[in-house]
Structure 1
Amino acid sequence: MPSHSARAVAPGAALTLAGTAVALAVSHLVPALNPMLVAIVLGAALGNTGRIPTRAAAGLAFSSRTLLRIGIALLGLQLVLGDITALGWQVIVLVVVIVVMGIVGTLALGGALGLGWTQRLLIACGFSICGAAAVAAVDSVSDADEEEVLTAVTLVVVFGTLMIVAVPVLSTMLGLSDTAAGMWAGGSIHEVAQVIAAGGAIGGSALAVATVVKLARVLLLAPVVTVISLHRRRVTGTDGPGTRPALVPAFIVAFLVLVCLRSSGLVPATALDVASAAQTILLTCAMFALGTGVRLAAMRRVGARPVILAAASTVWVAGLALAGVLLISPTV
C-alpha cells in the first residue's frame, strides 16, 4: 500500500481495531456473545452518535471490504471436503436444495413485496448460505448500494440470533434426536457462529453435525457468487472487458484454494489455529466497520418490507431444512 494511502487508512483502521478489541473482550467475558455480533452493535452505536470523524472513512471502508474479503477467504481453512462427503449423498442433496430453493423462494417473496432486485438478492443469499459473509460476497459482484448491504447485514444478525434460541427449543418440542436437530440447525441458521451456538445449546452430537452441515452450505458460496457474476457480465454494458466484473472474484478463488489446501491434510494444526484466530479478528473488524454505517434513520426509511422478507425467508429456509431432515433422518 502506498504511504499516502496508508496515512489515509490509518485513522479508520485504528478506530476499527479499538472497536474490535472491545468486542473481543466482551465476548471473552461473556462467551455466549459472538464477537462479530458485539462488533456490529458497537459500530452501530458509535455510528449513530454522529461522532465518527470524516478522516476515518477510508479506513472504515478498507476494513468493511478488504479485511472482510480476506476473512471470507480464510473460511476455506475450516472446510474439509472429506467431512462433507462423509455426510452422505442425501444430506449433500438436502444442502443444495436448501441453498437453491432458499434463494429462489426468497427472491420470489421479495418480488411479491415489491423490493428491488439487489436488496432481495442480498437477503436471499445471506439467509440461505452464510449470513453477513455471503451478503458481502454478493455485494462485490452486484450493484447494491451501501444502505441495502447494511440492511441485509442487520437483518441477518437479528433473525440469526433469534434462531439460536428457536431451533433448540423447537427441536425439543418436536422430539428430534441430537443428530437430526444438529442437521436442522446447520441447514437453517444464517451465520457459522450462530450455528455453533445453537448446536452447543442442543448438546450431544448436535454441534459436530451442525457445523459440518453449515460448512457444506458455506462451500456453495463460491458457485452462487460465480453464477451471479456471470449473470451480471451478461447484462452490464459492453464497453470492453475492462469494464465488466470479474467472473470469479479473487477472494472466492482464494477461498477455494484454501479449501483444497485444508482438505489435503498438509496444513499443520498450529497454522490452522492461527488462521482461525486471524479469521475471527478480520471478520470482527469488518463487522464493526459495517456497523458504523448503520443508521437508525435509514433503517426506518427502508420500511417494513425488508423485515417482512427476512422473517419470511427465515421461516422458508428453516422449513425446507426441517422437511428434509424429517425425510432422511431415519437413515442418518
Structure 2
Amino acid sequence: MNTASAIQRFHGLSSMTQTYWPGLAVTGAVAIAAQFLSDHYGAPAMLMALLLGIAFNFLSEEGRCVAGIDFSAKKVLRIGVALLGMRISIDLLVGLGGGTILLLVSAIAATILFGLAAAKLLGRGWRLALITSGSVAICGASAAMAIAAVLPKNEFSERNLIFTVLSVTVLSTLAMIGYPMIADAIGLDARATGIFFGGTIHDVAQVVGAGFSVSPEAGETATLVKLIRVTMLAPVVLVFSLATRNVASVGETGKRPPLLPGFVIAFLILAAVNSFGLVPGLVSKIGMETSRWALLAGIVAVGMKTSLRRVLDVGGDAVALIVVETIFIGLFILTGIYYLGHA
C-alpha cells in the first residue's frame, strides 16, 4: 500500500513538473537575460525584465509554457515578496528616530489618500489608485506586485500592474539622476539628502545609486530610510486586503480571500526572526538573492501575460496620476525635513 502510494505521488510530481517546467524555464532564462543587460549596460533589471517579458507575450497565449508562466506570475512573485522580510529588523526602526519614522509613515498614508482623491478627479478607478499610490509610497515595483496580488481582479488588473511597474521604474531612474541636483540646489546636508532620497525614490537600487553618488553618509541614510519604507509593505497590503475583501474578482465566485495572505504572513515571520538575530548571515544573503531572482522572474511572467498595446491603452490620465503622486510625496518629505530641522 505504501509503495503504491509512493508511486502515485511520484507520478503526480512528475506530471506537475511536466506542466510547469517549460514556463518556469522560459521566465528564468529571460530573467537571467534581464540581469545580464542590467549588469553590462546599467539599465534597471526590473525594467529590462518587464520589457523582455512583454516581447515574449505570445508564449502566454497558448502552448506548453502557459501554465508555468501563470505560476511564475502568481506563486513565484509572492515568494519573492515574502523573502523581502529578511531585509527588515527592529534595529532599523531604532536607528532613525521617532520623528523621521513618523514622517515616513505620514508620507505613505498621505500619498495613498492623495492618490485615491486624484484618481477620482481624473476619472480613474480605485484599483489603479491603490496600486500606483502604494508603489509610489512604499517600494516601487515590489510594492506594486504585492498590492496587485491582494486586490480583487478585473479585466484591467494585469495591464494596471504592468503600467505601474514600468512607470515607477522609469520615474525612479529619472529621480536618481535629478534628485541629487535638487538636493544640492536647495542646500540639504548629507543626512537630510539621505532622508529625501530614501523617502521619495521608488526602487531600492535607485535609492542606493542616488545616495552614494552624493556621499557615503547620504547613501547609508538613504538606504536605511528606504528599508523603513519597505517595512510598511506588510501592513499596507494587509489594510488593502481587508478593505477590498468583500469585492469579488471578475469571473471568480466562491469563498472570500483569507484575512491575511500567506505571503504577508511569511514576510512578517521572516522580519520577526531577523529582528531577533536568528537568521545566519549566509542564509540571509541566500534569501535576498532568491527574493531578487523570484521578483525578476515574476515580473517577466507578468510582462509575458500582457500585450504592449493594452499597456499603451491605459491613457494619459493614468500617467498624470502616477506623476502627481510622485511629486506629492517628494514635496511632503521635503516639507517634513524642514519641519524636523534636518535641513
What is the TM-score normalised by the length of structure 1? 0.91
Structure 1 residue 242, shift from structure 2 partner: 6.5
Point out where structure 1 has 5 or more consecutive residues left out of the alignment: none
Structure 1 residue 313, shift from structure 2 partner: 0.6
Q: For residues 227 and 52 of structure 1, do their structure 2 counterparts lie closer, same or farther at Cα, with a shift above 3 Å needed?
A: closer
The residue number in structure 1 matching 2:272 is 260
Structure 2 counterpart of 1:112, one-letter code: L
Structure 2 counterpart of 1:76, one-letter code: G
Structure 1 residue 98, shift from structure 2 partner: 0.9
Question: Alignment partner for residue 111 of structure 2, among 77, 102, 106?
Answer: 102
Give the Cα–Cα distance (whole angstroms) in 2 for the partners of residues 43 and 140 of structure 1.
18
The 10-residue stretch of structure 1 (17-26 or 109-118) with the greater mean CA deviation from structure 2: 17-26
The residue number in structure 2 matching 1:44 is 54
Contact 2:152-2:247 at 8 Å conserved across structures: no
Please list, as runs of the form range in 1=range in 2, the aligned pairs for 1:1-332 lying within 5 A after superposition. 2-30=13-41, 32-47=42-57, 50=58, 54-55=62-63, 56-144=65-153, 145-234=157-246, 243-330=255-342
Q: For residues 246 and 51 of structure 1, do their structure 2 counterparts lie closer, same or farther at Cα, with a shift above 3 Å needed?
A: closer
Give the Cα–Cα distance (whole angstroms) in 1 for the partners of residues 50 and 181 of structure 2.
26
Structure 1 counterpart of 2:105, one-letter code: V
Give the Cα–Cα distance (whole angstroms) in 2 for the partners of residues 308 and 187 of structure 1.
21
Cα-to-partner distance string for 1:217-239 (whole Å, 9 max, x where unaligned): 111111111112222235559xx
Contact 2:111-2:137 at 8 Å conserved across structures: yes
Contact 1:160-1:189 at 8 Å conserved across structures: yes
The 10-residue stretch of structure 1 (313-322 or 33-42) with the greater mean CA deviation from structure 2: 33-42
The 10-residue stretch of structure 1 (226-235 or 199-208) with the greater mean CA deviation from structure 2: 226-235
Q: For residues 123 and 8 of structure 1, do their structure 2 counterparts lie closer, same or farther at Cα, with a shift above 3 Å needed?
A: same
What is the TM-score normalised by the length of structure 2? 0.89
Contact 2:92-2:228 at 8 Å conserved across structures: no
Give the Cα–Cα distance (whole angstroms) in 2 for the partners of residues 157 and 290 of structure 1.
15
Structure 2 counterpart of 1:222, one-letter code: A
Give the Cα–Cα distance (whole angstroms) in 2 for the partners of residues 167 and 283 of structure 1.
26
Give the Cα–Cα distance (whole angstroms) in 2 for the partners of residues 235 and 297 of structure 1.
28
Structure 1 counterpart of 2:147, one-letter code: V
Give the Cα–Cα distance (whole angstroms) in 1 for the partners of residues 184 and 303 of structure 2.
34
Structure 2 counterpart of 1:298, one-letter code: R
Give the Cα–Cα distance (whole angstroms) in 2 for the partners of residues 273 and 141 of structure 1.
27
Q: How well do the aligned residues superpose, as a CA RMSD in angstroms?
A: 2.1
Structure 1 residue 41, shift from structure 2 partner: 2.2
Cα-to-partner distance string for 1:127-169 (whole Å, 9 max, x where unaligned): 1111122222222221242222222222222222211112112
Identity %: 34
